[in-house]
Amino acid sequence: MKKKIGLSDHFTYGKLLRFTFPSVLMMIVTSIYSIVDGFFVSNFVGKSAFAAVNLIMPALMALGSLGFMVGTGGSALVAKTLGEGEKKEANEIFSLLIYTMILVGGVISVLGFIFMPQLASLLGASDSMMEDCVVYGRIIVTASVGFMLQNAYQSFLVAAEKPKFGLGIAVISGVLNMVLDYLLVYVFSFGIVGAALATAMSQIAGGIVPTVYFLRKNSSLLRLGKTRFRIKPLVKACTNGASEMLTNLSASVVGILYNYKLMHIAGEDGVAAYGVIMYVTFIFMAFFFGYAVGCGPVVGYHFGAQNMDELKSLLKKSLVITAAAAVAMTAAAELLAPALSMIYVGYDASLCDMTTRGLRIYSFSFLICGFNIFGSAYFTGLNDGMSSALISFLRTLVLQVIAVFVLPFFLGIDGIWLAITAAEGLTLLVTITLFLRRPAKRIQVW
- Please write the tens of the pLDDT for every residue from 61-77: 877 777 777 877 888 78
Q: How many domains does one find in the chain? A: 1
| Between 411 and 389, residue with greater pLDDT | 411
pLDDT above 50: residue 441: no
Give 410: exposed, middle or buried? Use CB within 10 Å, 0-12, 13-18, 19+: exposed
Segment 296-319 mean pLDDT? 85
| Between 428 and 239, residue with greater pLDDT | 428
53 domain residue, yes or no: yes
pLDDT in the model for residue 3: 63
441 domain residue, yes or no: no
Q: Which of 29-38, 69-78, 120-129, 140-149 has the lowest mean pLDDT?
A: 29-38
> Sorting pLDDT into bands at 50, 70 and 90, what band is 143?
very high
* pLDDT single digits (tens) 77-109: 888 888 888 889 999 999 999 999 899 899 999
pLDDT above 80: residue 237: yes
| Between 438 and 214, residue with greater pLDDT | 214
With 0.85 as the threshold, say if the pTM is over it: no
* pLDDT single digits (tens) 395-415: 878 898 899 989 998 998 999
pLDDT above 60: residue 202: yes
Q: How many residues does the chain have?
A: 446
Average pLDDT taken over every residue of the chain: 86
442 domain residue, yes or no: no
347 domain residue, yes or no: yes
CA distance 80 to 393: 24
pLDDT above 70: residue 33: no
Segment 255-275 mean pLDDT? 85
> Sorting pLDDT into bands at 50, 70 and 90, what band is 244?
low
pLDDT in the model for residue 389: 79
pLDDT in the model for residue 383: 75
Segments forming the whole domain that contains residue 136: 13-436
Highest mean pLDDT among 17-31, 75-89, 94-108, 237-251: 94-108
295 domain residue, yes or no: yes
Angle between helices 87-114 and 65-83 (to 10 degrees): 180
pLDDT above 70: residue 243: no
1 domain residue, yes or no: no
* pLDDT single digits (tens) 174-185: 889 889 999 999
> Sorting pLDDT into bands at 50, 70 and 90, what band is 2?
low
pLDDT in the model for residue 168: 86
pLDDT in the model for residue 442: 47
200 domain residue, yes or no: yes
